[in-house]
């Protein structure tokens, strides 16, 4: 699972997200994983676009509660193998 890639606004659009994602994928491959997955808030369009560019596709969703607010995370997955 790729978990919590957050970059302060002042440091966004400098390629750091790509570096973090590349590192996460390298770690997964080094550990002989065939897939990586993550959850992203359904209304976080920039993050959803970023993950889609990396080849992640939605495979499910789940609700979570933040305070009194029920929200939905989209679950996305990326294959690390050539089928």
Domain that residue 53 falls in: 10-79
Residue 82 has pLDDT above 80, yes or no: no
Say how many C-beta atoms besides its own lie within 10 A of residue 56's C-beta. 22
Residue 83 above 70 pLDDT?
no
How many CA atoms within 13 Å lie on the side-chain side of 22? 5
Model's pTM, two decimal places? 0.88
pLDDT in tens, 70-81: 999 999 999 998
Widest pairwise Cα distance in the chain? 43
We report the CATH number of the domain holding residue 35 as 3.40.630.30
Looking at the domain assignment, is residue 47 inside a domain? Answer: yes
User: Does the pLDDT at position 2 exceed 60?
Assistant: yes
CA distance 75 to 63: 10
Question: CA–CA separation, 27 vs 36, rounded Å?
Answer: 10
Residue range 27-61, pLDDT digits in tens: 999 999 999 999 999 999 999 999 999 999 999 99
Q: Is residue 69 part of a domain?
A: yes
Contact status, residue 51 vs residue 38, Cβ threshold 8 Å: yes
Instruction: Output the pLDDT for position 5.
Output: 86
């Amino acid at each position: 699972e790729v978990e919590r890639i957050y970059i302060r606004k002042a440091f966004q659009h400098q390629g750091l997200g790509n570096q973090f994602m590349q590192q996460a994928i390298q770690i997964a491959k080094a550990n002989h994983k065939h897939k990586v997955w993550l959850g992203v808030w359904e209304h976080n369009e920039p993050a959803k676009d970023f993950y889609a560019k990396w080849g992640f596709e939605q495979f499910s969703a789940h609700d979570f509660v933040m305070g009194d607010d029920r929200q939905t995370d989209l679950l996305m997955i990326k294959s690390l193998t050539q089928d």
